[in-house]
Amino acid sequence: MPQSHGHLNPAAPEAQHEVVFDRFELGAGLTELVRHVWVVRWNIPPGEARPQRVLSYPAFNAVLEPGHARLFGPDPRLDVHELRGASWAVGVLFRPAAASVLTQTPPRDLLGRGEALPGAPLGAVGEAMASDAARQRLIELLGRWLGPLARGLDQRAMTVNAVCQLAESDASITRVDELAARVGVTTRTLERLVREQVGVSPKWLIDCRRLQQAAARLRGDVGELSALAAELGYADYAHFSRAYKKVLGETPEQTRRVS
């Protein structure tokens, strides 16, 4: 199953029957458009809620739920969504530059918000979710929907996908000028390209990786927080703590206490 660093509070073992996740890839031909599909089903006792904390990747998500389908842009802030009652959602986590074939709205105008997603196979997804072979049926119908869109990606989109993958995977890159040098462009060109295609700054590509990693580490036995700050490339713990609180709304110490 593909892993997600964006979901910051996976269900505890004793609550896994209440919130059940599945993630899977769509296969060859769609890898430059789609990172993976995520599916969640939940059945929460009446009167209770299960908050889901998500620090989204610098990318777009399509979310299909009973009654509506929407496209959401990257959100540079922690999103907390409460699950109540019993329902399901099917999401498609796209590669960063997918907006160019999904919407006419400039990516910067969808930061932290969403819009209707016409053309999404909502009815067919609902039927698949009610079947005994939901995953296979979703792979087939999402592939039919997204295949033609994947063929519309241009070279600029491919370049942005490569830039974002590099920023996410190479922990030695902690500054925008380092990222630009690795790609072989000026910082100004990199800034223009990423903002045009994704809507965020190149700096956020790096910051998102570090904060996702920090939140994941803080759920375990992380040891000294100053050592974690240094490992993530921050000048000192104070810089790390300020950056963390600005996005997640709490200090690293607070996250560690409740994890």
User: Mind listing the pLDDT tens digit for each residue in 195-231?
Assistant: 999 999 999 999 999 999 998 888 777 789 999 999 9
Residue found under tokens 């099917």: 90
DSSP assignments along 164-229, one per residue:
HHHHHH-TT--SHHHHHHHHTS-HHHHHHHHHHHTSS-HHHHHHHHHHHHHHHHHTS----HHHHH
For the chain, the straight-line distance linking the first and the last C-alpha, in angstroms and rounded, comes to 23
Here the tokens at position 244 are 């963390």
Q: What is the pLDDT of residue 45?
A: 95
Instruction: Indicate the pLDDT class of residue 33, thresholds 50, 70 and 90.
Output: very high
* Sheet architecture: strand order including 114-116: 19-24, 34-43, 86-94, 61-65, 68-72, 114-116
Q: What is the pLDDT of residue 154?
A: 94
pLDDT tens for residues 137-174?
999 999 999 999 999 999 999 999 999 999 999 999 99
Q: Among 23-32, 180-189, 190-199, 250-259, which stretch is predicted with the lowest mean pLDDT?
A: 250-259
The amino acid sitting at 207 is D
* Residues in CB range of 184: below 8 A, 6 or more apart: none
Q: What is the pLDDT of residue 173?
A: 95
Higher confidence at residue 187 or residue 221? 187
Tell me how far apart the alpha carbons of residues 31 and 107 are, in angstroms, rounded to a whole number.
20
pLDDT tens for residues 56-91?
999 999 999 999 999 999 998 999 999 999 999 999
pLDDT tens for residues 97-141?
899 999 999 999 999 999 999 999 999 999 999 999 999 999 999
Residue 12 above 60 pLDDT? no
Q: Provide the β-strand partners of residue 93.
A: 36, 61
Instruction: Indicate the pLDDT class of residue 96, thresholds 50, 70 and 90.
Output: very high
Residue 5 above 80 pLDDT? no
* Residues in CB range of 186: below 8 A, 6 or more apart: 180
Residue 1 above 90 pLDDT? no
Residue 183 above 70 pLDDT? yes
Tell me how far apart the alpha carbons of residues 142 and 93 are, in angstroms, rounded to a whole number.
12
* Cut 0.75: pTM above it: yes
How far is residue 203 from each of residues 50, 163, 190, 191, 208, measured CA to CA in Å?
32, 12, 10, 9, 9
**Exposed / middle / buried, residue 155 (Cβ in 10 Å: 0-12, 13-18, 19+):** exposed
